[in-house]
Structure 1
Amino acid sequence: MSQIQDYQEAQQVLEQNEIHIMPSEVHGVISGLLACGLDIQSDEYLQILSDVFNEGQSFNSNLKSFFADFYKLVTSNLDKDDLSFELYLPHEDESQADQANALVAWVSGFLLGFGLKQKNYGKLSPDVKEVITDFTEISKLDTHFDETEDDAQALYEIIEYARISTLLCFAELGKKQQSAAPQSKTLH
């Protein structure tokens, strides 16, 4: 996964391939797809990303590999029981505005990915509905920050909320899909 270790390098790969989005948005879309139940073993995500980010055109092999690395990053961290999942955002050394813009892109991507796969909003639990409502509000966040300690703390809290909320959605909808696979039953 060396291509996606560094946020700036990931941004360069996207720009060099004329995909004009933030790496955080890619991570958010994949997270949203998985959080609402896309089968982890599926490679359907590539077609979805192509439809969303490349007007349905197939990606070149470099981009396919790049997106596969992102997919592995998200799936490996979402599927752990240790809550190690993190949003893919610029390093904390970057400005709060850069981090906030990336957060808004991530949350918007999550909502997009979630919405593409979730067809029955009415059957979602109140907790998941609240997450979607809150994420919609976060996607409208004013990303102008004064670079104060209070702003840094507020940004951290929003990022942490988004992280935990993603895990909640995945636990309720994504893992449910994983365990819903047909199991053989032995009659005694």
Structure 2
Amino acid sequence: MALMPVVFDFDRYAQICSDVGAVGQPAELHGHLVGRLSAGARLDHTTWLSVAQELLDGRGALTEAGKVALIQLYDASLAELSGSGFELTLVLPDDSAAIDHRTAALGHWCEGFLAGFGMVERSAQLSEEADGVLRDFAAISQVQTDLDESEANEVDFMEVMEYVRMATLMLFSECQSADPKQDTPPAALH
């Protein structure tokens, strides 16, 4: 597996979460961001930082380094989604983490994606295929996490992760309009 660019390093965002005493998870935060972007919303950096702070639900404020990292995450995620290379890096623990930890994080990512995607108002109805993807993501978000380390579980995880990646790119492609909506933070996310 290729080295993950530092901007998508799970541990980097886990440290930000820890620094602010966050309730939220890094994978869920990234999933939420990608969900909003996929649904067609665009946020300015100030709005994104406000949304991120709310999602993290921490006791402390983001440091300047944390703010920079989150802005880099926003910019890199939008660039990957908008690119033509079918690239999308999910913020998940690396392959050295236990399979149940990675599986739980993928479930959190899908949960965050659904929340972010659902917050964006769309005028067009989704295709049957897109509706199916959202149902699949809902099922993945409820994933069993008491898995043993086995080749079969590893293969299953990789297949599901690849499905999530490709399905997200399909949703992004379907939901983009010529005039992306500027999103504003909601009054409350809870």
2:104 is paired with a residue whose SS is helix
Structure 2 regions of 5+ residues with no counterpart? 181-190
Aligned to 1:128: 130
Aligned to 1:180: 179
Aligned to 2:147: 145
Structure 1 regions of 5+ residues with no counterpart? 182-188
Alignment TM-score, normalising by the size of structure 1: 0.82
Aligned to 2:188: none
Instruction: Supply the distance in 2 between the matched residues of 1:136 and 1:20 (Cα, whole angstroms).
Output: 21
Any idea what the Cα deviations from partners look like across 1:75-108, whole Å, max 9, x if unmatched? 1211111111121111112110111011011111
Aligned to 2:183: none
1:83 is paired with a residue whose SS is coil
The structural deviation recorded for 1:73 is 2.0
Is the Cα–Cα contact under 8 Å of residues 40 and 172 in structure 2 kept in the other structure? yes
Q: Which amino acid aligns with 2:154?
A: A
Larger Rg, first or second structure (1 or 2)? 1
Alignment TM-score, normalising by the size of structure 2: 0.81
Is the Cα–Cα contact under 8 Å of residues 29 and 106 in structure 1 kept in the other structure? yes
Bigger drift between 93-102 and 12-21 goes to 12-21
Instruction: Supply the distance in 1 between the matched residues of 2:116 and 2:134 (Cα, whole angstroms).
Output: 12
Note the aligned Cα RMSD (angstroms): 2.3
**How many residues matched?**
174
Is the Cα–Cα contact under 8 Å of residues 35 and 114 in structure 1 kept in the other structure? yes
* Aligned positions of 1:47-58 closer than 5 A: 47-54=50-57
Q: Which amino acid aligns with 1:28?
A: G
Q: Which amino acid aligns with 2:112?
A: G
| Percentage of matched positions with identical amino acids | 25
> Are the structure 2 counterparts of residues 5 and 116 from structure 1 closer, same or farther at C-alpha, using a change threshold of 3 Å?
closer
Aligned to 1:158: 160
The structural deviation recorded for 1:64 is 2.4
- 1:22 corresponds to 2:25: yes
Instruction: Supply the distance in 2 between the matched residues of 1:138 and 1:149 (Cα, whole angstroms).
Output: 20
Q: Which amino acid aligns with 1:68?
A: I
1:142 is paired with a residue whose SS is coil
Aligned to 1:184: none
Aligned to 1:167: 169
Instruction: Supply the distance in 2 between the matched residues of 1:5 and 1:180 (Cα, whole angstroms).
Output: 27
- 1:84 corresponds to 2:87: yes
